[in-house]
Structure 1
């Protein structure tokens, strides 16, 4: 295995990012945490959230940023940031939000998530004008512990829609 490479995402990464997002969501939430999403909710959600067209448009949005971690030339993890969209009374669109930090199951334990988080936080430090925000599933204690180590505290809760299913999420804030 070569040393992982962290780099900004490119338009040509859209298919790899879409595929990795879809697979990692299922590996993490369906297989890992056992959330019983009804297929009628999960399939359209995955298509909308991780469709190649959606990812291509997001990559082209100058308000946000994406990074990938490559292992042996393949995209193994990614992080994406942008203007805050979390439903908290103190949150503003001019604040920065970590939208997703996904690491493929096969690449976990390589430190990719921590490296991507550091790059994303640096971007957030320079591209937001207030607090920094993260939404995290209430049952993902490992992610909550990681974010707490970087100064994020629980600031609220909300329901994240996966079709008509609702995931109970925590809103974390730093600053």
Structure 2
């Protein structure tokens, strides 16, 4: 499978808003209160919010294409852009989404390999993420790819307090870097 990864820029704002809303809705709308969910979507994925994130030097969006078709995206954060830990030696995978019609085709394993490759280039010690504790399919996927649970934190969809597992992947360290 030949995927193309393209870093998002401010010129991609409308595309980012669309894929963010659609993939998040496909994944979680059925499991949430409709009013809370709509309010969350409208604030978390509005142009103003995503524009601010695209302009943040510590946030990186990547679009994923299969045969020139946008099939997903992911978001990485370092430094103070991280949603929770904000440790200098960590990088956060805040979002990783594949459009529903392309799930189950092995695209996720290619995306997570690309995420690890990009994370390794940062020289950080570990890659971490938050995943909803009820999303057993995603938890199994991350475990298969070397992530382990190390904590949890609350995540709100409107007024609904949900719990995310925090999972981490230890990044292999270049022997030259570890000697410094």
TM class by smaller structure:
0.7 to 0.9
Q: CA deviation at 1:56?
A: 2.3
Change (3 A) 1:9 1:115: farther
Task: Please give the per-residue CA displacement for 1:125-148, whole angstroms capped at 9, x wherever unaligned.
Answer: 232533321100111122112211
Does residue 1:26 correspond to 2:62, yes or no?
Answer: no
TM-score, normalisation: structure 1: 0.83
Give the superposition deviation at 1:9: 2.0
Q: Which residue of 2 aligns with 1:167?
A: 162
Task: List per-residue Cα deviations over 1:11-42 (Å, max 9, x = no partner).
Answer: 222211211111111111123xxx13241x22
Q: Is structure 2 residue 68 aligned with structure 1 residue 77?
A: no
Structure 1 residue corresponding to 2:60, chosen from 58, 65, 70: 65
Q: Secondary structure at the match of 1:129?
A: coil
Between stretches 152-161 and 109-118, larger displacement belongs to 109-118
The worse-fitting range, judged by mean Cα deviation, of 17-26 and 105-114 is 105-114
User: Which protein has the larger Cα radius of gyration, Structure 1 or Structure 2?
Assistant: 2
| Higher relative contact order, chain-length normalized (CA < 8 Å, sep 6+) | 1
State the TM-score, normalizing by the size of structure 2. Answer: 0.81
C-alpha RMSD of the superposition: 2.1
Number of aligned pairs? 166
Could you tell me whether the CA contact under 8 Å between 1:79 and 1:117 is conserved in 2? no
Which residue matches 1:101?
Answer: 96
